[in-house]
């Protein structure tokens, strides 16, 4: 085999070019080659990691601090496939976390809950982000801790599964505090519920739930443990390929942990996709007085008490 020898100047130019490549993760103007290194530099402080455009097959566990993970250009920083602790791309258990403009796709793990984000401690805000073609988009939390979780202007598509004993969902959040999901899009589910929320207070407002291309999905909105708040101004389309075709919005279907008195469900528009079975717009297991206002319904039974 012939060896190709580079002239010293050419070799120096190549090495200089490699050295000049900017580090993809920056904190306070300092560059880092890995997300782990950037988190280590933050420690227990409050800081922002700016992420350059690119596709990243790495993951990280945040155990301290209040950290914002922000794409330098929204939608251009893509994380895929690799998970930490057999859970997610980002496992979050610091004091707080903000995700801004990132894309997560292609997550699978042994227990069927592979996801872009696993939230285990601290408040969480997710904005302008996408969760695609995985077992779950965002999941985590516990019933005994009060936290504030906010999801806004984000997309969840091609998510969920029921091939394991426990189904996974597009979004599955648990807290004794509050969950807000606003101005977001859910579509093309592949099993489970679109938004499964166990929280004392909920705000599910101004979203689109398009199940017309869903596969073996269940409820579009599942307030599993009840809760007060609002389900307002959403557009919901029930598809025909359903594992549970009877209900679009389920209230306290699993238990009555939280009061539902005054839960406002109004200003929504809901319909059936061609071929979809007749269903109830709201299925209620709480037996408390919900504040169901004016909703524009096509082909749906407005309310069923179980």
* Percent of the chain whose pLDDT exceeds 70: 93
Overall average pLDDT of the 269-295 stretch: 98
| Residue 86 pLDDT | 97
| Residue 218 pLDDT | 98
pLDDT 10s digits, 80-134 = 999 999 999 999 999 999 999 999 999 999 999 999 999 999 999 999 999 999 9
pLDDT 10s digits, 153-168 = 999 999 999 998 889 9
Q: Is the pLDDT of residue 214 over 60?
A: yes
- The rounded radius of gyration (Å) of the Cα atoms in the chain is 22
Q: Give the up-direction half-sphere exposure of residue 43: CA atoms within 13 A in the CB hemisphere.
A: 2
Tell me if 47 sits within 8 A of 27, measured CB to CB.
Answer: yes
Q: Is the pLDDT of residue 13 over 90?
A: no
Report the first-to-last Cα separation within the chain, whole angstroms.
77
pLDDT 10s digits, 20-30 = 568 999 999 99
**pTM, full prediction:** 0.93
pLDDT 10s digits, 165-199 = 889 999 999 999 999 999 999 999 999 999 999 99
pLDDT 10s digits, 20-63 = 568 999 999 999 999 999 999 999 999 999 999 999 999 999 99
User: Which residues neighbour 68 within 8 Å (Cβ) at sequence distance 6 or greater?
Assistant: 47, 48, 49, 97, 98, 99, 100
Q: What is the three-class DSSP state of 203? A: strand
């Amino acid at each position: 085999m012939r060896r190709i020898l580079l002239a010293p100047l050419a070799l120096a130019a190549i090495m200089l070019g490699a050295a000049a490549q900017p580090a993809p993760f920056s904190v306070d103007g300092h560059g880092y080659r890995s997300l782990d290194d950037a988190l280590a530099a933050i420690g227990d402080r409050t800081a922002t990691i700016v992420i350059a455009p690119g596709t990243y097959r790495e993951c990280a566990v945040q155990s301290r601090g209040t950290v914002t993970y922000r794409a330098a250009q929204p939608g251009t920083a893509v994380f895929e496939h690799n998970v930490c602790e057999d859970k997610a791309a980002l496992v979050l258990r610091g004091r707080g976390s903000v995700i801004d403009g990132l894309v997560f796709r292609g997550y699978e793990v042994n227990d069927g809950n592979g996801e872009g984000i696993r939230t285990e401690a601290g408040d969480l805000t997710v904005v302008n982000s996408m969760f695609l073609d995985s077992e779950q988009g965002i999941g985590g939390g516990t019933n005994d801790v009060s936290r504030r979780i906010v999801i806004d202007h984000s997309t969840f598509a091609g998510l969920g599964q029921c091939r394991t004993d426990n189904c996974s969902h597009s979004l599955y959040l648990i807290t004794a505090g509050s969950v807000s999901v606003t101005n977001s899009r859910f579509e093309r589910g592949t099993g489970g519920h679109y938004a499964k929320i166990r929280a004392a207070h909920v705000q599910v407002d101004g979203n689109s739930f398009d199940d017309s291309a869903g596969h073996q999905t269940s409820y579009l909105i599942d307030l599993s443990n009840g809760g007060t708040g609002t389900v307002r101004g959403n557009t919901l389309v029930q598809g025909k390929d359903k594992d549970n075709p009877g209900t679009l919005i389920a209230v306290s279907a699993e238990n009555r942990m939280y009061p539902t008195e005054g839960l406002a469900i109004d200003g929504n528009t809901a319909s059936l996709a061609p071929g979809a079975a007749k269903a109830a717009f709201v299925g209620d297991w709480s037996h408390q007085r919900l504040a169901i206002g004016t909703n524009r319904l096509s082909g749906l039974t407005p309310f069923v008490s179980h």
